[in-house]
Amino acid sequence: MRYLTDTVRGFLMGAANIIPGVSGGTLALVLGIYERLIHNMRTGAGALASLLRGRIAEGRDRLKEVEWGFLLPLLAGILIATVALAALLEKVLDDHPKPTAAFFFGLVAGSIVIAWRLVGRWDRTPILTGIAVALIAFFGLGLRSGEITDPPIWLYVVAGLIAAIAMILPGISGSFLLLMIGIYEGVLAAVNDRELTTLLIIAVAGVVGLALFSTPLDYLLNNYHDTVMAALIGLMLGSMRVLWPWPDGTDTANLAAPEDWGIPLLLAIAGFAVVMAIGWVAKRMGD
C-alpha cells in the first residue's frame, strides 16, 4: 500500500510537471514529500558526483543512503503520468492553440503569485533583479520564431538540464521553460513516438544536471533566496509573452490584440484558480 501511495503521488507530480505553469515541486509540497524528495535527490546526485570523480566506495555508500523504496515508485508514477498525458497535450495544442495557451497563461499567472509570496523582503536588489530578468526575457523572446521543428540533439540535452533545475527550484515549471525556448512540443512528440534515444538523452542530462546543480542551487537559495526568487518571478513574467493566446497561441511569440476572447478568458481564470487552490492547500498543510 505504501508503494501504491507513492506511485499515485508520483502520478500527480508527473501530471503537474508536464503542464506548463504548474510546478511539480508545488505538488510535492502539497503532498507533504517535498523535503524528503529533495533530500533523496541531493543524496543521489552526490553519489553520482562521487562516482564520476572515481570515488567508487564513497559513491556506493551514498547510493545506499537513498530511499529507493520511496523514490522508485514515485519516479514510476511520474513516468506513467508523462506517457499518459503527453498525447492529450500534444493534441489540444495542435487542435485548440488559443484556448490551451490561455489556460497555460492562467496557470503561470497563478504560479507568479505563489512565487511572489515566497519572497521574504522586496528590497532594491530583488526588485532590480526581477525587472531586469523580466525585460530580458520579454524582448529576448520577441526574437523567437516559434516552436523549433526537428530540434538538434544538444537542445534535448538542454531540456534535461532544465528539467533537473526545475525539480530543485520551487515555484518554476520545467515544462514552461521548455515551452519558452521552443522545444516543449518536440519533447511531447518524443514521448508519444517512443523515441527512446531522445528520451534517454534527456534522462541522462537530467541526472547529470542534478549532480552538477543541486549543491550550487541549494547554496544560492539558502544565501540569496529573495534575489533568486525575484529572478524566477521576472523570468515567468517576461516569458508569459509566449503564452499570449493571440494570434496563434504558443506557436509564435508575436503579440496581437485579443479577439474571440470569451472562452480564453474563462480558461485563463480557471488556470489561475487551479494554481491558487494548490497554493492554498500547500499553505494549510504547512501551517
Q: Which amino acid is at 11?
A: F
**From CA 98, how far away is CA 243, in angstroms rounded?**
9
pLDDT of residue 268: 92
Name the one residue in this structure whose C-alpha cell is 540533439: 153
- Centroid of chain to Cα 45: 19
pLDDT tens digits, 110-151:
888 888 888 889 999 999 999 999 999 888 877 665 667 777
Helix ranges restricted to H, the chain: 2-18, 24-30, 34-52, 56-65, 68-95, 97-117, 124-141, 153-168, 174-181, 184-192, 196-223, 225-239, 262-286
The x, y and z cell numbers of residue 64, run together, are 545506499
Amino acid present at 279: G
For residue 146, what is its C-alpha cell?
Answer: 516559434
CB 212 within 8 A of CB 203: no
**What distance in Å separates the CA atoms of residue 14 and residue 198, rounded to the nearest whole number?**
19
pLDDT, tens digit only, all 287 positions of the chain: 788 888 988 888 888 778 776 667 667 766 778 778 877 887 887 787 788 788 888 888 888 888 899 889 998 998 898 888 888 888 888 888 889 889 989 888 888 888 888 888 999 999 999 999 999 988 887 766 566 777 788 888 988 888 777 767 766 777 878 887 788 888 888 888 888 888 899 888 887 787 777 778 778 878 898 998 898 889 888 888 888 888 877 777 778 888 888 899 999 999 899 888 877 766 665 55
Which residue in 167, 222, 220, 165 sits closest to 34, CA to CA? Answer: 167
- CA torsion sign for 133, 135, 138, 143 is negative
Question: What was the pLDDT predicted at 126?
Answer: 93
CA distance 199 to 233: 29
How many other β-carbons are positioned within 10 Å of the β-carbon of residue 192?
15
Structure confidence at residue 128 (pLDDT):
96
What pLDDT does residue 199 have?
A: 87
| CA dist., res. 249 & res. 87, Å (int) | 18
- Cα separation, 10 vs 255, in Å, equals 36
Contact 168/124 with Cβ under 8 angstroms? no
Which pLDDT score, from 0 to 100, does residue 282 have? 60
- Cβ atoms within 10 Å, residue 254: 15
Q: What torsion, rounded to 10 degrees, do the Cα atoms 132, 133, 139, 145 define?
A: 170
Cβ–Cβ < 8 Å for 76, 10: yes
Inter-CA distances, 94 with 89, 98, 226, Å: 9, 10, 38
